[in-house]
Amino acid sequence: MVRVRFAPSPTGYLHIGGLRTALYNYLFAKKMNGIFILRIEDTDRARFVEGAIENLISTLRWAGLDYDEGIDKDGGFAPYMQSQRLDIYQKHIQDLLGNKKAYYCFCEQARLTSLREEQSKLGHQPKYDKHCLKLTDTEIQNNLENKIPFVVRLNVPVSEPIIFFDIVRGDVEFNSDVLDDQILMKSDGYPTYHLANVVDDHLMEITHVIRGEEWLSSTPKHILLYKFFNWEIPIFAHLPLLLNSDRSKLSKRQGDVAVEDYRAKGYLKEALVNFVGLLGWTAGDDKEYYELDEMINAFSLERVNKSSAVFDVQKLNWLNAEHLRKKPILDLLEMLKVELQKSRFNTKVFSDDYLLKIIDAMLPRVSFTHEFVSTAEYFFDIPNSYDEETIKKRWKSNSAELLLKYLEKIEALNSISKEEFEQALHKTAEENSAKNADLIHPLRLALSGVGGGPGVFDIAVILGLDEVKNRIKIAIQKISNGENK
C-alpha cells in the first residue's frame, strides 16, 4: 500500500510551499488509495513555537487535507511526534556506532570554526575532516566518562557514487566526496532531521517521499543511512522551487507566504488549493479550474515539472472569483451574513430575500466575499458622500432638474419593476430633450454615491421605490448645495 507523509516542523505558520507539499502527498495518496500521514518533526527545540502544531492541523483541515494517521489518529505507528520517539533514535544511533557507520565527535566549536575558515581560504568545500574518527575506543570511553560534550556524525565513505531515482528528475547521481560527515545526533540528545527522518520513514513504512527541492542535496546522506541500516529505499519525488514574479525565491520579504495570510484576506480554500496544485503540476491540458476531487483524479507525480513555479497572485485572484461564482447560492448567503457581522453594518437587519438580490447583482463583479460589502456599501446604507470625480464628470448643470422630473414620474407609481424604472427614465429624457446618459449617470450617483457597479436599474429595484425616491432627494440637496462630505 502507498504510504506518504507530510512532516512539517512546528516553527510558526504553514508556508505556501508547505501547503503544496502536503497537497501533493494528499493527492497522490488518494489517487493510489493509500495513506496520508501527518508527522510532526519537532526535534529542533530552539525553533519550536508554542501553538504551531495546533495551527498546522487547523490549517490543513481548513484546506480540506485531512490526514489518515497523525498525532490524534493512531494507525499503528505512533507516536507521530518526533520528540516522543527519542528512545527509538538512540537505539538506531547505537546500531550505527556499533557498525562504524557513525562515530562520536568531541570537537569544540572553536576548532570547527577554525577548520571551516581555513578550508574556505584554500577554496575547498567546508566540511568536517574526520578528526574524531581516529580516536581509539579507550579515548572515546574516557571522553564519555568525563562527560565531554559530543555529537554523533555520519561516517561518509570516500569517493563512492550515490545514485537514486527521482520521479520528477529521473536518475540523480552524487559523489560521496561532496558530502559532509553530517551530524546525526546533537549534543542535547535530539536527532537531526537526517537521522529522524530516515528512521521514521522506514518504521512508518513510507513508500514515497514527496518533498521540496531544497532537500535534494540531503538525499544522498539519507540513501547512505538506508544502506547502512540495510533498509529498502523509498521512491523520491523532489518538488520544484516556488518563485516570486521577479524569479526570486518565494519569501516573506516579497509578500505573503503563509496560508493563514491568504485565509485572513478572504481567499476561498477551494481557490487556494486549486492554485497551489498548479504550482509545478499540470494534467497536460489547458484546464485550470479544479475542485479537489477532480484534482485527485487527474494528479500524477510524473506530470510534476522540475522547473521552478512562479507564484502569480493575479491567477490566484481569478481562480478565487471562479470558485466564488460556482458556490451554491445559499452558501454565498451565509458567507455574506458573516461579512456583514464583521462590518459596520452589523447592527442592521436585512432579509434573506434582499441579500440574495444583492448577491445576484454583485456576483459577476466581485472576486472575494468581502467585496459584496466593501464595494457596494450603498446597498446597506444611504451614501454619506458622493464621488468627487464622478460629480465633476457626470453631474451637469441640468442634472438636478432632470432628477426632479424623474422623481415626479416614479412618485406617481405605487410599486415599480426594473422595466418601469427604465421606461420612466427614457420618458423623462425624451420629454426634456436630453440623452438617456444625461440622467442615468446622475441617477447612479444619487443611488450609490459612486460611478460604477451593477446596472442602475438593478440597483434601483433592489433598493425599492421608497428608498430610491429618498436617495434622489438627498443627493439633489447635498450635491446642488455643495454639502458633499
Pairwise CA distance, residues 475 & 485, whole Å: 12
Beta bridge partners of 40: 81
Active site residue 252: yes
C-alpha cell at 14: 504553514
3-state DSSP assignment of residue 15: strand
152: left (phi over 0), alpha (psi -120 to 50) or beta: beta
Pairwise CA distance, residues 191 & 180, whole Å: 17
Q: Do β-strands 102-105 and 151-154 pair in parallel, antiparallel, or remain unpaired?
A: antiparallel
3-state DSSP assignment of residue 225: helix
Q: Is the peptide bond before 157 cis (omega within 30 degrees of 0)?
A: no
The label of the residue with cell 475542485 reads 291
3-state DSSP assignment of residue 175: strand
Question: Exposed (0-12), middle (13-18) or buried (19+): which is 432, by Cβ within 10 Å?
Answer: middle
Q: What is the DSSP string of 378-438?
A: GGTS--SS--HHHHHHH--TTHHHHHHHHHHHHHT-SS--HHHHHHHHHHHHHHTT--HHH
CB atoms within 10 A of CB 465: 18
Q: Which of 73, 91, 100, 252 is catalytic?
A: 252
Q: State the angle between helix axes of 16-31 and 269-277 in degrees (0 to 180), rounded to the nearest 10.
A: 80
Pairwise CA distance, residues 104 & 155, whole Å: 10
The secondary structure of residue 6, as a DSSP letter, is E
Question: 89-125: b or e for each residue (b if 16 or more CB lie within 10 Å)?
Answer: beebbeebbeeebbbbbbbeeeeeeebbeeeeeeeee
Q: Using alpha carbons, select from 134, 136, 140, 133 the residue that is nearest to residue 181.
A: 133
Pairwise CA distance, residues 60 & 473, whole Å: 52
Cα distances (angstroms) measured from residue 14 to each of 53, 55, 304, 442: 10, 8, 22, 49
Q: Which residues are catalytic?
A: 252
